Structure formats: structure tokens, C-alpha cells
Structure 1
């Protein structure tokens, strides 16, 4: 995430950590929900195991899986789709009617409703998650207005709306039958269209004159004209008919066969019931539903009507994905990267870092914050003591205050005068009179670090490499101590050095809990020591005059 957006994103990350109880297992929302499930299904397996997929647990409703996959997919591209994510979060954190219903109805059947009561209160629009979600959106739009102008802000606002509607759609669309989605994987849209055309072609002779009295128009022609047997033989005629039919509301709503009036007419009670056999109607509905699977053209026309979506795709197909949403590297940033790469170690303003090699140290300093971030990708993995300790560790690294039994809500941004590890890194760069990189990608482009790249690769598989990552994180506390010591006075202000020392203690306590939770003889303990040694050896290169 670009450094300039950290404070905005920090508010949404605070919402997330509060959902995880801020590292307090008893207040972890997933844990509370699991306790509720155990009341009526005591032997329910952990949600992070394959055992929970057994048919006996009746978790085969596709709409919930689809909603979960949708969230995971959009979360994979935070840089490209940040406005959409903020909009999605804005809707998701708003108080929903079904939450209030559950909080009222569960006690009537002697079940604990606290999970839902909790979300009626903590999602409040004054100081709770709804308010924080709104503040994130407001701050983001103001940031875009100040840095990119009114036109860019208008586009960003439309993208926020798109994300909001996407979340809303997950709820509304989820109420409809979704068993067609599995079948769509086996049929391409072109194959389905060919089958539908074959169905219409086979019925032309029988149906043509039956529609003479109909005044219904499909596109530019009456239905009876479209169904002229001779004209329908032409391939161009057929293509135009299918194209016109696919967008002709209310007869066809792309992606929604249940709402489409033509489908209703083919069913019982409709004026054309019996015209299609069951298999033919299944194919027709499948085709209608397939029309809603590629919404990119509409999406692009909504967020930027002046840009043709096909032109946009063709212009960006051979570039880095970050260019798609205009998070491009400007000429200024390229110049910054060149300046950074040309500055030798030990030659900074006032020679503040005579015993530190900044080109070696800074890539590691910023990358250390990525080591355990991805461990939280599945909240169900953070309900035990180890997972909660990782949550608290990451909160400390991000500069959040020490956890309290009561959430801080919107008070947090006002009580935190200083940031976390990233902010201290930026302070060091400013103290050395160096240009500020736009983000981690820019910094690693300026000062390439093979070990930093290795750290990112290991962090991308957080479960498999957990022991190694924890060991590395422990080693980096020594780098933090090195920076906070008085011998390096000038890198950080006295106040920042004092705060960093406090954060080091908090991180150490969390990592100690993690290590205690790993049984002796567990392979993760061996990996812990290996990761510690690897990182410590690399950190040693940051001191003295190492190149």
C-alpha cells in the first residue's frame, strides 16, 4: 500500500483487528460465533479443516461460498481496487436487518445471541465500525481531491459506489437459486449461445405466425419480424437477434433468469408454457445467467464513461497490473528511485548513520512488517492463543496503542500521535535527507535486497512457514533496538526512540507467547531458530561499513 494511504487504510485495519478481539481470545468475534455454533452442533469441526465439508454438516449452500470467494478475490488486489474495497467495507459494516432479527430471535430458542448483539452495538454509526468505514471513505476521497484533482475524485467516488453495490449484491443475489453456477464452468458463453440459437431455429416454422399479433419489439424489430424463417437463416441476422435479445429488458435481465420476463413466460402460468421442453428451458436459463458473468464493460463505463473498456484493456494488457487503476510510477517517483540508488552508505546529512548502512538496512526495515501480515488471511486461524498473539504483535508494529478490554473505536486515530515501524522508517529517511519513496515497491526498486525478496516469498505462505517467520520477526527486534539506541541519535527523535523501545517490548512479549504455544519437538520450533539465524546474519550486514 502506498505510504501516503497508510493512515486511511489504518482505520479499516483497526476495524479488522477489533473483529479479532484486538488479540483478546475471549473477545474474538470468530471465537464467539464458533461458541454459538457449538451450542447446537457440539461436534462441528474447526472451520479451517477439510472435515467441515462433510455433507452431514449441510454447508453446501453455494451462495455463501460465492460471497466468501468474492471477498477473498477483491482482497487480493488492495492497491488496484482500494476504492472498491472501501465501498464494500462501508456496506458490510452497516447495521443490517438480519443482524437485529437474529439478536432478537435466538434467545427465543434458548441460544446465545451475543455475537449479533455485539454487531448491533459495535457497528454503530457514531464511533463504531460504520463510522470508521465512513471516515475511511471520506478521508480517501479528500486525499484524491488534494493529490489528483476533482475529476479523479469523482472517478474514485464512483468506484467506492461500485464496491458498495458489490457487497449489497452478495446479500440480494444470494437469495436466488444459484445451482447454475457449477454448470457454467462446463459451458462457455459462446457454446450456450449456439445451443439457444439452435433451439430458436428448430421452432421457427412452428412459432412464426403465432406472434403476428404481438407488438413486442426486440431491439429495432418486432418479434414476428425477427422470427421470419427465411431471414433467420442468415448468420448475421442470428447474431443481431441474440445481441438484441440479451439486452432487451424486462424480457431478459443479464445474469438473472429469475427476474427475466421471457423465462417467466416459458414457465407454468406463462403464455408460452410448454413451448420449451425442460432441457431446452434449462439451457435457455443457463444462457441468461451466463450473460451476467462479464460485467467489466459496464463497470468501466460507470467509473469512467469517457474511456472505452476495450481500449483500456488493450493498453494495459502488457503492463504491470498496478497500472490498471492509475497507481502508476510517475516521473517524480522514477527520479526519486534513481537518487536513492546513487546515494552510498555513510554519506547522509550530518553523517547521522556512521555505524549503519542504510541501503542495506532500510529494505529490511520496511519488509519486516510483511512477515506475519498474511497470517490473518483466515480469521478462523487466529482464535487460539498463538493467533491472538500474532494479532497483538501486528497491532504493535502498526503503532496501535496497548489493547484495552474496551475498544477505542474512533478515539484511536486521535490518541496515536506517532505511528509504527513504517512511520519510524519514513522518519529515518527524512532525517537522512533522502527522497521519500512512494511505497515498498519503489524502495525495493531503488535499493534491491535479495533477502527482502526472500522474506516476502516466505510470507506469502504464512502457515507453511510460520516457524521461520516468527524466528525472523524475533531477530528483527534486535535491528529495532539497534536503531533506538542512543548511539544512533539523530535517526529518530528522542520521543520516537522512546516509543520504539516501548513497541519492541510489546512485540517481544507477543513472540514469546507464540513460541510457548509451539510444543517442544514441533518442526516449527526448529524453523523458528533457523529463521532467527537467517535474519540475524543479514541484519549484521547493516552495521559497520558492510557494502
Structure 2
């Protein structure tokens, strides 16, 4: 074929040769331009990378590996095979995001305002510690709401598995994953056939969607914030004794919580700010200039009131509801509260949703940075990602409860896991979802795209059948009565819909279903607020057109669109009696025991003692200095409470996710990882561990400070207990008791006390954890090596962040850091 083409190429006439030469020249110029642009972009990326290797004072920093994306504000070119969609009808298929609150019911708007206030308090938890009971009440309300809805048709939900079976659970999750994948495959087929975008009709719509979705994205990972902490013990929903009569063992809960905690560690970037999901989303909003802007021109972070630039009564109610649900269950995820529910929520939330796939694709199509959404497609994979990790944690816990507490106890835990799963599945997290389109032919013979009817959607409900009968009966009398109305219901005017010569039951059903989506003409569930009903009443445009009984048919139809379900008490009826927070009576008589009873309360917010003149030091000198205790003989029983409480210093930082997406938060996360045995020195090129760390053998090798404490207990012949309340009760009044109480006070307000906490942590490393007398008590060399590694990691992390703060001239922070160190050093020297 090539040889045959050559002669004809050379036999072209002169005019065609001239045209060809011009075409070749243009092609060469195009290639040169492309190469020049590529070189320029590569150079720009390298410049950005070099710039970002330096420390920055800004919350938003550009990742060296992901240079800024210049947003193209022009509309993407339509494909040649696309069936044209009339602009207005096409846009009408999508909800008006700017009026989401206005079109919501009065009840939903009122609830949204309360959720906004609760959201802000939880994002600033340390200043509102008294909000915990309110969060608990709201969480139970949401359990009631989502459970009652799912119980109406349990066959389509996880409730279809009445008794836990690992095979049934895996098959259910696999089916859910396959369903999302098949829907996406069908979506790609529709787009390839020329169908329009189904998530974002315009670029402007996408940008508004991203802004309104920020409320949920600013708590990303927060649903497991309290899953692992010093208060973890046996789940409160389980019996106090095992089948063998032993009691209060909570090692299973701690192992499972540690498995689940790995998910939020990766959500938060494993200590690397560039990988933190909230940081990525905040950077996206900053790039598109969405939301309220600060004085420096950057987007307001999620812990600020009005970060979205909207009034308190504006926004998307369902997004605020979903965000608050994540905050509440994360806050109350400990074994003392809703531990199994949090595991179930995590398992559902980490599954792959169809809308995420569509969102990632269409944002890329609109030339909007989609990386935040794209990484969730990969990181949440069902084989080795967050989806698999969440399932493995649930399986481990249920099997462990069955072995330890028996079949009946496991059944109760399974119901609670199901409740958490239903909560995540039942609350939409986005301002709007995809709208599937199908080709249809208009009466004029033109091809258009219109929203696809849902499966089984042609079968009318009883309320629809009654209204169809009324409308068809009225059609002849109403002929030509709507000629002056330009309002469209879906694709057509009312006059065209109700043309008696072409009216059928099927067309009338389509009309009232299109009418049901017309706001504020119809407000589902609220006929008294629907303009359709008001138009039928005295003073309305249609007064007298419908009889009283016919008006009742209209009202019944509107009510049927959102039936009122009595949900209160559904959760407790489903899982059994629930212990109330008010049932917990504090009878403790020491400072340490009082705080152990209620880890949320701030009992004493007074600062630690100020420095004396001769105790002032340079912050950078402290991490590099020698250990200040060299005692070879240590009374471990005396300092044992300090050892365990020292593991808790940083655990409240993640409970305020938006504040956590900062250099301070990432330094804290690295320290948490080290304390847990995961390793703190996370490198930028590291990838997510995924399920690599979840094997039994790997977990047994991954000891943290708590597990090392249990080994110290063993070597000193002390019975270990995961119950901090028991630990506190057995700690006599005195210096150790008071020291532990103050550590818990500092822990309760992490961002206010951050500098002091870092200083105290350093003192604990140098005075307690590196003490050779204690190291020598560990019987295995593996444990001694692990402890030395943890100490080295923590000192290196603290030194790095301290240098960062000193470079930024954070004098107040530096003083607080030294003050915390010197105070803790003084206390440790007094008891060692």
C-alpha cells in the first residue's frame, strides 16, 4: 500500500503540491510550538518545585509534584456526534444549587442552621467541649432517620444480611462495587454515543458544586477521629466478663481500632501535608477562588464561620447533615460510645460510589483539577485500599467478639455495625448527584436528551393514579386556558403537556412527575407551602378550578412525594437498650480519676507554671541535648500511669480535621504514628501501606508505646488493663496523680496547648522513655530496639518542627515549648 501511494503522491498537480507544502509547513510549526510549550511547562514545573522546597508561612502551599493548573473558563467544545440538548430543558434537569436552601422545607432549613452551628463548634472542639452531649443526641437522631428509611426496603441494603457471615458480607460489598462499576460503564457508553455531561451541565455549575461540597470535604477522615485513644477498653455494649469469666479485657478493641486508624492516617496524609485530603481540597478551592476569602486572598479554612461565603440560612441542607454525621460519629467512635457503629460507617464510606467516578471524569473534561477525586478512586480500592482495610477491621472485630463473648454478643455488635453502615449509605454527601439522560424524539421530530426514567418508574403510585385521573378529566375544560403561561414543566409548556388531542395516561404521568420536580410549585411533603396548592385556594390563580375533594387529591399526592416517617426510637429498638451519657456518674476522688471518668471535660485550664529566669533555654538546644535521667533503678509501678497517659498527648488533634490540615497537624500526626509503632519519618515518595500492615504477623511486629507498656507490665508481673479508669483509681494521690491529671488537661485542648505538649513530649522522651533503667526492663531485644527507634523518631520530628517555628519567628510558641519541657522535666525528676 505504501509503494502504491508513492507514485500518486508525486503525480499531484502544481496547485495541490503547493497546498500540500503549506500543510506540511503548518504541521511542522505545530510540532515546534508543542515542543516549546512542553519545555516551558517542564521548566515552570521545575521552578515551582524549587520554590516549594523552601518553608512557607502560608497554609496553602503548592505541591512540588503537582504544579498549578490554569483553569480554562471557556466551555468545552461539543463533540460532532452529540445530540443537541435545548439549553433550558437540559439545565432544568439539574437542581438549582444557588437556591437549595430556599427550595428546601422550613424544617430542613431550620435543621441546617442548627447543623451549621454544631459543625462550627466541632471544628473548634477544644473551645466547645460541652458540645459532646449535643453531638451524641444528633448522632442518634441520624441513626433513627437512616435506619427507619432503610427498614422500609431492607432487601437493597446491608440489612439483607440478618446474621453476620464473612462470605455474605464480602459478596454484598463485592456486589455494591460491581454495581458502581457497571453503572459507570453504562455512563461511558452514553457519553461515547454523544450524550451530555450528567454531573455538571456547565463549568459554572461545577465550580458552585465544589464550593458547596466543601463543608463535607473539610471533615474528610474525621469519621474515625476518636476511634483509638487512651480511653479505649472493652466496648460498652458488651458484657463486662468473657465466656471464661475473665473481665475487662480490651486488647481486641485496641487491635481493631489500630487497624481502622490506619485509614484516617492515610486520609490525613501520613504526616505529609501534600497528601492530606483536606489540604488538597482547600487548595482546589483556593485555585478556583471559591468561598470566603481572607485578607491575603486565600480561601478561608473550614474551621472559620462562613468559610463558604454564604449566610447561615443558605447552603445545601443535605451536605451539612452529612458533614455533621461524620463529625459526630468520629468524636464518639471510642469503645465507650459508638465503636461498632464507627467501624460500620467506615466500611460503607470507603466503598467506591458511582458519583465519584463521574465527578472525577467530568471535572477533568471541564479542565478543573480533579486530583482530590481521582485519588479517592484509587486509594479506596476494594483489593488493598481503604475499602479492604475497613472490611478487614470489621471482620476481625466480629470474629474476635464471637470467640471472646459468644454468639449473642456478636449478633448485637453486628446490628451496630449495620447501623453505622446504613448511616453512611443513607446520607448523600454531595450537593447533587448524576442525572442520567436518554435520547427522545420531540413532537416536532427533533432528537433531544432528557432524564432517564428510573427502573419501574412507569408504574404509578396510588397517589399518582388518582391525580392522573383528575388531570385527564380536567384537560378538555382547560384547553387553551394556559396559552399565556410561558412556564415550562420539564421540556414543555403546560399547554403542550395538557393538549387534549394528544393526552394519554402515560403522558399525564410524565407531566405530574415533571411537575413534582418544579420548585417552589411543588414542595415534596408540604402541600401548605406548595404554590400549586396555594393557587387552588382563595386568591390563587386557579381558585375554583378544582373541587375540595380534587384539591385533597393534589395535597395527598404532594405528601406522598416525601412521606413522614416516625423515626424516633428506631435505633434503640433495632440494637437494644443504649447506655445514656447521663447514666455515667462520676464518683472519683482524685484529680486523675475525675479526668479518666470524662475525657472530654476540661477540669482545669490553668497554664503550667511559668519559667524562672535561670530555667530559660533555647528551643533548638533542647532536642539535641542529652537525656536528663540516667537512673539504672526505676520503680516502674510508680511511673506506670505516666507511661500510659503519655501515649495520649496528641490524640485530640485529629478531632478538628480542618485545623489538622496544617504543618502543626502533620507534625502531630507523625508523632502519633510513632507512638503507635507505625513509624514517623514518612518520606514524600512513600506510598500508602494499605493492607500491607493489617496481617496478624505484621501487626504483632508493630508495637507502639502502649504495647511496650503491656510488655513492661508482664516483666514486672503486673496484670495489664486497657481501662484508664481502673488505672486512675489505682494511682494514689500525690505528684504522679497530679502530673497525669495535668497531662489530660493539656490533651483536651491540643491547639491552645500545642507548644507545651510538644515540650512535654520531648521531656518524656528524654527523661522517661530513654531511661536505661526502664529500657532494661524489656525482656526482648526487639522491644528495646523498638523503644529506642520511637524515641529517636519523636526527637527528630520535634526538632524539625521546632526549627520550622523558630524560622518563622514564632516567639510565643518557642517560649511555650521550653516551658512545657522544663515543667515536665521537673516533674519527672521528682518521681524517678
User: 1:442, CA displacement in angstroms?
Assistant: 2.0
For 1:318 and 1:34, the matched residues in 2 are separated by 41
For 1:451 and 1:101, the matched residues in 2 are separated by 54
- Distance change in 2, residues 1:358/1:33 (3 Å): same
Partner of 1:514: 801
User: 1:30, CA displacement in angstroms?
Assistant: 1.6
- Tell me if structure 2 keeps the 8 A contact 1:86–1:133: yes
Partner of 2:818: 529
Instruction: Tell me which of 400, 411, 419 is aligned to 2:692.
Output: 411
For 1:298 and 1:56, the matched residues in 2 are separated by 34
- Tell me if structure 2 keeps the 8 A contact 1:266–1:273: no
Does residue 359 of structure 2 align to residue 102 of structure 1? yes
Does residue 413 of structure 2 align to residue 156 of structure 1? yes
- Tell me if structure 2 keeps the 8 A contact 1:480–1:500: no
User: 1:273, CA displacement in angstroms?
Assistant: 6.8
Q: Deviations over 1:407-446 (max 9, x none)?
A: 1111013445131110111110111111111322221222
Partner of 1:64: 319
The residue correspondences of 1:289-304 to structure 2 (distance < 5 A) are 291-292=566-567, 294=568, 297-304=569-576
Partner of 1:429: 713
The residue correspondences of 1:62-461 to structure 2 (distance < 5 A) are 62-77=317-332, 78-79=334-335, 80-171=337-428, 268=533, 291-292=566-567, 294=568, 297-304=569-576, 309=577, 318-320=583-585, 355-401=633-679, 402-404=681-683, 405-414=686-695, 415-416=698-699, 417-448=701-732, 449-461=737-749
Partner of 1:46: 301
Partner of 2:498: none
- Distance change in 2, residues 1:462/1:390 (3 Å): same
Q: Of the two, which has the highest radius of gyration?
A: 2
Partner of 2:454: none
For 1:354 and 1:434, the matched residues in 2 are separated by 20
- Tell me if structure 2 keeps the 8 A contact 1:386–1:517: no
For 1:36 and 1:521, the matched residues in 2 are separated by 28
User: 1:102, CA displacement in angstroms?
Assistant: 1.1
Q: SS at the partner of 1:94?
A: coil
Report the aligned-residue RMSD.
Answer: 3.6
Q: SS at the partner of 1:23?
A: coil
Q: Deviations over 1:501-539 (max 9, x none)?
A: 111111111111222232435322222112112211222
User: 1:106, CA displacement in angstroms?
Assistant: 0.5
User: 1:397, CA displacement in angstroms?
Assistant: 0.7
- Tell me if structure 2 keeps the 8 A contact 1:95–1:123: yes
Deviation larger for 149-158 or 434-443: 434-443
Instruction: Tell me which of 21, 29, 33 is aligned to 2:277.
Output: 29
For 1:303 and 1:67, the matched residues in 2 are separated by 22
For 1:371 and 1:355, the matched residues in 2 are separated by 26
Unaligned runs of 5+ in 1: 177-256, 322-352
- Tell me if structure 1 keeps the 8 A contact 2:346–2:390: yes
- Distance change in 2, residues 1:59/1:458 (3 Å): farther
- Distance change in 2, residues 1:144/1:258 (3 Å): farther
- Tell me if structure 1 keeps the 8 A contact 2:671–2:797: yes
Question: Per residue, is there more helix in 1 or in 2?
Answer: 1
- Tell me if structure 1 keeps the 8 A contact 2:633–2:773: no
Unaligned runs of 5+ in 2: 1-231, 234-249, 291-297, 434-521, 537-545, 587-630
For 1:258 and 1:52, the matched residues in 2 are separated by 29
For 2:789 and 2:432, the matched residues in 1 are separated by 50
- Distance change in 2, residues 1:458/1:59 (3 Å): farther
- Tell me if structure 2 keeps the 8 A contact 1:84–1:162: yes
For 2:773 and 2:738, the matched residues in 1 are separated by 30
- Distance change in 2, residues 1:376/1:111 (3 Å): same
User: 1:143, CA displacement in angstroms?
Assistant: 1.4
Q: SS at the partner of 2:752?
A: coil
Q: SS at the partner of 1:55?
A: coil
Partner of 1:477: 765
Q: Deviations over 1:151-174 (max 9, x none)?
A: 000010010000110111221898
User: 1:139, CA displacement in angstroms?
Assistant: 0.6
Q: SS at the partner of 2:270?
A: helix
Q: Deviations over 1:349-394 (max 9, x none)?
A: xxxx982222331111111111111112223223333322211111
- Tell me if structure 2 keeps the 8 A contact 1:266–1:276: no
- Tell me if structure 1 keeps the 8 A contact 2:412–2:575: yes
